[in-house]
């Protein structure tokens, strides 16, 4: 199995970021957005990632070799396409019991039938099942968690992979009243992670893996305006997406702190890198997003056609550079490696425990090369992270002591799901 070197999980892997809000007595003016230096650094980092991610990850095999995983049970959201599809298939082929938590159950069953046919004769039938989960409905999340916990079985790995990036689309809200990027990319996975804690504790040592994005480096979270409706910031799909991804890192960091060591649950965020999205015959425009399901298919052809048209009027050297862009972008299979590594490498829990012991302000964050890296400067803001934690629990209908209550073996009540139907 591909593994990072022993030094990869050293203290150096935590980077040089400093947490804020510790020991400060000075009352600071409320921050209303990223400073221009933070914004520039974020975009420069994105450019650096696109240009050098393939080089930085050149030590990794593709597909990533995995050890036998016959004793592992994994739930993967958004596993009918893109990165999630690759994660589900590779874990299943390594012997894991895979649960595809998806909205389109028909598509999932068709994939399983195809995989079983292709796997026939290579070993035991793949151990995969499908359960319905719609992240645009918090009722659906509660229903899923209750159904799984009712089995009283073990859960070893929860991979929150599903997400959306509705490029160019107007602002939309779920039936729960939340901006769609925030709900699908952050709120629903947060609710699912907390509600599945009883099963994760039974399966400990276990892991919660959040497939994040380098786009969080240009994100900002205003806990008083999570839906971006106040007018203080102009809504764009980029604002919605990057904010939701930063919120996920912040929430994960506090969850990491709140879970006691004896619970045996590691919380990890991973970046898949910049992954190739849908393309058209004119060459394809990559976006620094996650994978195919996070780009609206009807938007991409228009953008791609426009860029292809403009490229024909550019100098030859620029045209050549444009055609080289796909070389720098990962395939979905390559983008799945960081999540697979986080879910299976034996050093990951040790690294998480080291961060907890050192009271590091953020949870473990692995880059596309499967090495520890530092999330954004804003992600280290502990004051904001705790506000995101409290605001998130309020939005998803859980009490502030939900984690502690569940760890003690008691039940918590969520205002969603109970009165459904």
Q: What is the DSSP letter of 169?
A: P
Per-residue pLDDT, 304: 46
The H or E element that residue 343 is part of is: helix 337-344
> Can you give the CATH number for the domain in which 339 is found?
3.40.50.720
Q: Is residue 308 part of a domain?
A: no
Assess whether pLDDT exceeds 90 at residue 298. no
The Cα 74–Cα 234 span in angstroms is 39
| Domain extent for 170 | 34-277+328-401
DSSP 225-256: -TTS-SSSS---HHHHHHHHHHHHHHHHHHHH
Question: How far from chain centre, in Å, is Cα 46?
Answer: 17
pLDDT band at 293 (very low <50, low <70, confident <90, very high): very low
Helix (H), strand (E) at residue 383? helix 382-395
* Domain presence at residue 160: yes
Give the residue numbers annotated as catalytic, written as ranges. 241
β-pair type (265-270, 364-366): parallel
Length of the chain measured in residues:
421
Q: Is residue 366 part of a domain?
A: yes
> What value does the mean pLDDT of the chain take?
86
Non-local (6+) Cβ contacts of 147 within 8 A are 131
> Is residue 313 classed exposed, middle or buried when 0-12, 13-18 and 19+ CB atoms within 10 A define those classes?
exposed
Check whether 361 has a pLDDT greater than 90.
yes
Model confidence, pTM: 0.86
Query: What does the pLDDT look like over 201-231, one tens digit per residue?
Result: 999 999 999 999 999 999 999 999 999 999 9
Burial of 7 (0-12, 13-18, 19+ CB in 10 A): exposed
pLDDT higher than 60, residue 190: yes
Mean pLDDT over 343-367 rounds to 96
> What's residue 327's pLDDT?
82
Number of domains the chain is built from: 1
Bigger pLDDT: 319 vs 170: 170
- Is 29 inside a domain boundary? no
- Residue 61 has a CB neighbour count (10 Å cut-off) of 9
| Residue 318 pLDDT | 57
The whole-number average pLDDT for the span 318-339 is 82
Q: Which residues touch 225 (CB under 8 Å, ≥6 apart)? A: 232, 233
Q: What value does the mean pLDDT take over residues 251-263?
A: 97
Nearest C-alpha neighbor of 250 from the set 387, 394, 141, 355:
387
Contacts of 357 (CB under 8 A, 6+ apart): none
Enter the DSSP assignment of 73. E
> pLDDT tier at 315 (50, 70, 90 boundaries)?
low
Mean pLDDT over 101-110 rounds to 97
Predicted confidence (pLDDT) per residue in 27-50, tens digit: 567 777 888 888 899 999 988 988
pLDDT band at 302 (very low <50, low <70, confident <90, very high): very low
In 3-state terms the chain splits into helix, strand, coil percentages (rounded to 5) of 45, 10, 45
| Dist CA 271 CA 335 (whole Å) | 8
Domain for residue 417, yes or no? no
145-154, 169-178, 302-311: least confidently modelled range: 302-311
Q: CA–CA separation, 346 vs 207, rounded Å? A: 11
Q: Report how far apart the first and last C-alpha atoms of the chain are (Å, whole number).
A: 47
| Over residues 375-392, mean pLDDT | 96
Task: Report the candidate in 46, 95, 98 with the shortest Cα–Cα distance to residue 75.
Answer: 98
Residue in the structure block whose two tokens are 């590594």:
341
Residue 207: in which H helix or E strand, if any? strand 206-211
Is residue 106 helix, strand or coil?
Answer: helix
pLDDT score, position 28: 62
pLDDT at 415 over 90: yes
Is residue 117, in this structure, part of any structural domain at all?
Answer: yes
- Percentage, residues of the chain above pLDDT 70: 81
User: Per the domain annotation, does 416 fall within a domain?
Assistant: no
Sequence-ordered alpha helix ranges (H) in 186-331:
188-195, 197-202, 237-258, 300-311, 316-328
DSSP string over 404-415: HHHHTT-----S
By the 8 A CB rule, do 195 and 160 touch?
no
Binning pLDDT at 50, 70 and 90, where does residue 417 land? confident
Does residue 7 lie within any of the structural domains? no
């Amino acid at each position: 199995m591909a593994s990072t070197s022993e030094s990869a999980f050293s203290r150096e892997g935590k980077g040089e970021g400093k947490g804020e809000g510790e020991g400060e007595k000075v009352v600071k003016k409320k921050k209303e957005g990223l400073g221009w230096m933070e914004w520039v650094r974020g975009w420069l980092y994105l450019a650096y990632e696109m240009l050098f991610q393939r080089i930085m990850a050149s030590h990794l095999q593709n597909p990533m070799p995995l050890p036998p995983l016959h004793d592992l049970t994994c739930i993967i959201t958004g596993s009918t396409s893109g990165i999630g599809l690759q994660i589900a298939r590779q874990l299943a082929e390594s012997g894991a019991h895979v649960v595809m938590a998806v909205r389109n159950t028909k598509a999932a069953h068709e994939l399983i039938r195809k995989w079983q046919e292709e796997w026939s004769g290579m070993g035991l039938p793949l151990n995969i099942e499908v359960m319905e989960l719609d992240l645009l409905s918090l009722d659906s999340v509660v229903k899923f968690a209750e159904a799984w916990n009712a089995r009283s079985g073990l859960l070893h790995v929860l991979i929150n992979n599903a997400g959306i990036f509705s490029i160019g689309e107007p602002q939309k809200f779920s039936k729960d009243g939340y901006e769609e990027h925030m709900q699908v990319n952050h709120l629903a996975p947060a609710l699912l992670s907390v509600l599945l804690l009883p099963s994760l504790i039974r399966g400990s040592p276990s892991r919660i893996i959040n497939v994040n994005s380098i786009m969080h480096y240009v994100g900002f979270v205003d806990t008083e305006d999570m839906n971006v409706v106040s007018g203080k910031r102009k809504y764009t799909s980029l604002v919605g997406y990057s904010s939701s991804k930063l919120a996920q890192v912040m929430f994960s960091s506090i969850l990491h702190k709140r879970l006691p060591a004896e619970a045996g649950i590691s919380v990890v965020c991973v970046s898949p890198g910049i992954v190739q999205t849908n393309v058209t015959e004119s060459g394809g425009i990559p976006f620094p997003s996650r994978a195919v399901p996070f780009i609206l298919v009807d938007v991409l052809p228009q953008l791609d056609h426009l860029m292809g048209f403009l490229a024909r009027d550019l100098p030859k050297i620029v045209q050549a550079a444009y055609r080289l862009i796909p070389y720098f972008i990962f395939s979905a299979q390559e983008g799945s490696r960081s999540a697979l590594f986080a879910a299976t490498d034996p050093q990951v829990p040790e690294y998480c425990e080291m961060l907890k012991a050192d009271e590091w302000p953020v949870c473990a964050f692995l880059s596309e090369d499967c090495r520890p890296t530092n999330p954004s400067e804003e992600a280290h803001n502990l004051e904001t992270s705790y506000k995101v934690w409290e605001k998130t629990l309020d939005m998803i209908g859980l009490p502030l002591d939900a984690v502690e209550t569940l760890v003690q073996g008691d039940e918590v009540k969520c205002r969603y799901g109970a009165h459904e139907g």
